[in-house]
Structure 1
Amino acid sequence: MPTSDSDRDSLIESLKDAEHAAGFIGAIFGEKDPEPALLRNAIRKVIEARITMNGLSESAKQNHEKLDKMLTESGGSEIYSFVELLEALGFKLEITVAETELSADSESTDFGESELSPEPVVINPS
């Protein structure tokens, strides 16, 4: 975690990138000895980055408040129990960027012809 204001500002700036933010939160779930305070802090930092981008919906704010309260009261035991259960079943929890997020964050304007043009319509006379 950041140790100075410039480190903190740099972290917040980097978390504006959706893929970096996903990796940041995902790394917390990959820890062998989970620390719920780290999860809460990671989520708060991602929320802060989104707020600076004006990219936090009212729904996200409300869900964050609920989750933060749950993590505070339970120490995150439910979340980490869920992760452990998934691992015991042979699964792995992975945090990825939603496709709608990818298209909104995409800086590429290099579109192929098929992405800009509708499929050709073939009319067969009968």
Structure 2
Amino acid sequence: MATTKAAETARNSKPAPQGDTAEIQAQLEAVRADVAELTRALASYGKAQKDGMTEAARARAEALKGDAEAGLAEAEARAREAYQRTETAVRDNPGTAMALAGGVGFLAGLFMARR
């Protein structure tokens, strides 16, 4: 049994003809070239994706910046308007303004004393 297997292995391990080796080498080179091309294509695709994502993020940041600036301008306008209304109310009714200020001060003093 062991001699039969050894004889079969010896029979199957004959050196390949030179033409087959050259053909295998050519196929291996073609596979290597294909792998190299795929690697380049994937690198190029990854760079394009990165560039696209970077540009999208930059555009979104600019849009958010614009929204924030608009919100800030609106808040400033509202604060100025509220200040003007308060100033007008104080000028029109100075006694009422003084009474309100005194009341607020009194309440603030009570809350601070309870601490």
Scaled by the length of structure 2, the TM-score of the pair is: 0.26
Scaled by the length of structure 1, the TM-score of the pair is: 0.24
Higher helix share: 2
State which structure, 1 or 2, has the greater radius of gyration over its C-alpha atoms: 2
Q: Which has the higher contact order (CA 8 A, sep 6+)?
A: 1
